[in-house]
Structure 1
């Protein structure tokens, strides 16, 4: 599967803390930056954090029920290969990262079975990291 990189720009109200999180906790490579924004290589995609006043969704996350968990909305993330997801989950757990939804297997034994975890960055942006043992199930019904 060949994909084009996406570009995603998100608001952060504390550029210093957000930069430290994406660079040091998630271990993303930093690209260009200014006093107002920072580019990151988000698993081959371009993520830009932009200085912006706190948004309503950053103050109080809305959630929807999915597989018995309250999933924060909005959220963004990436689908990783299974082993990469496992390594990331272990590394984040070792760093003591607080999860909104701890790493687990969702839809176990069903179509679309996947590994998933949710966390917030320091500015309240929700992230999801997931993996499929069978990537062909990504869009399965």
Structure 2
């Protein structure tokens, strides 16, 4: 049986800048690649960056959530609390500006979680979350 997971392909405009971000800052392992795409091990999931000239993203919009302007569209991952804080440190250490700084949402409530947003060099918005109790991911 195949392990559950996702495969996501996103547009980028420059593989060298993307490599510096996904490998150098986020610490992801590079898989197969050509001169126009790279597979990344995105915490056990497959993320593929495809070169599409002139593909730098612009916001389709933003939604107000907890007093923050959340970029739409975005994608991301659920991490352990430890991995979340390690990644936040890597992002800070890499000089990457947060779209939304790491913060704790729903403290003491169902679904308590850490969350943060960044953009890759092509402008793709990424969200990373960490739930105190992973069984609460879909709690109401």
TM-score under structure 1 length normalisation:
0.91
Q: Distance in 1 between matches of 2:48 and 2:138?
A: 27
Matched, 1:98 2:97: yes
Partner of 2:111: 112
Q: Distance in 1 between matches of 2:71 and 2:59?
A: 10
Q: Distance in 1 between matches of 2:32 and 2:105?
A: 36
Say if 1:78 and 1:128, in contact at 8 Å, map to a contact too.
yes
Q: Distance in 1 between matches of 2:54 and 2:74?
A: 16
Partner of 2:4: 4
Partner of 2:72: 73
* Number of matched pairs: 139
Q: Distance in 1 between matches of 2:99 and 2:7?
A: 25
Matched, 1:53 2:53: yes
**Structure 1 unaligned spans of 5+:** none
**Structure 2 unaligned spans of 5+:** none
Say if 1:67 and 1:107, in contact at 8 Å, map to a contact too.
no
Partner of 1:126: 125
Q: Distance in 1 between matches of 2:25 and 2:88?
A: 12
Worse overlay, 112-121 or 13-22 = 13-22
